[in-house]
Amino acid sequence: MTVADGWLEGLGEEGRQLASPVVRLLLTEAPRLAVTVQQGMLAFGPFRYRYASGRSGESALLTLAVRKHGLSLYVNCVEDGRYLLATHLPNLGKVRAGISCLRFRRLSELDDAAFRNLIRAAAVSRGGGQVDGEK
- 75-98 residue pLDDT tens: 999 888 889 999 999 999 989 999
pLDDT at position 80 is 82
Give the pTM. Answer: 0.89
- 6-62 residue pLDDT tens: 999 999 999 999 999 999 999 999 999 999 999 999 999 998 888 888 888 888 999
| Contact status, residue 23 vs residue 33, Cβ threshold 8 Å | no
Handedness of CA 48, 51, 55, 59 (dihedral sign): negative
- 62-72 residue pLDDT tens: 999 999 889 99
**Residue 4 is inside which H or E element, if any?**
helix 3-9
Count of alpha carbons within 13 Å of 116, Cβ hemisphere only? 9
Instruction: Compute the C-alpha angle 13/19/63, nearest 5°.
Output: 135
